Amino acid sequence: MTRSVPVELAGFTELFRDLEEYVVSLDRVLSRIGAGEDPRVLLGYVVEFGLPARLARARGFVGDALESVIGAEALEAIADQVEGYRG
């Protein structure tokens, strides 16, 4: 059975715009690093463009939409499956 997740068009459009920026920008940044530029250029992009806050906002948007369909416990179970950075 296929279930649908209702989303606000404006929020979904903003999410797509952000994801498009991340894909294009990360490709450019990683190409620069591959060409020999200092890898700190990646940190510069992350900080200058506020990626942590923007990604958290995107996660909240998607999480809220999913929670309305599958419930808080199921969403938490999905979140518990994530492997985070262990530097």
- Distance, in Å, from the CA atom of 65 to the CA atom of 57, rounded to the nearest integer, reads 13
| H, E, C per residue of 20-59 | HHHHHHHHHHHHHHHCCCCCHHHHHHHHHCCHHHHHHHHH
Asked whether residue 29 is assigned to any structural domain, the reply reads no
Q: What is the per-residue pLDDT for 73?
A: 97
Predicted confidence (pLDDT) at residue 10 exceeds the cutoff of 90: yes
Residue 1 has pLDDT above 90, yes or no: no
Residue 45 has pLDDT above 90, yes or no: yes
What is the spatial distance between Cα 44 and Cα 71, in angstroms, rounded to a whole number?
Answer: 37
**Average pLDDT of 78-85?**
93
Look at residue 27 and tell me if it is in a domain. no
Contacts for 65 with CB less than 8 Å, ≥ 6 apart? 5, 6, 7
Overall domain count for the chain: 1
Q: Is there a domain that residue 54 lies in?
A: yes
Q: Judge whether 10 lies within some domain.
A: no
71 part of a folded domain: yes
pLDDT for 63 beyond 80: yes
Asked, for residue 49, whether it belongs to a domain, the answer is yes
Q: Considering the domain boundaries, does residue 46 fall inside one?
A: yes
What is this structure's pTM?
Answer: 0.86
- Could you list the residue range(s) of the whole structural domain that residue 49 is in? 39-77
pLDDT at 74: 95
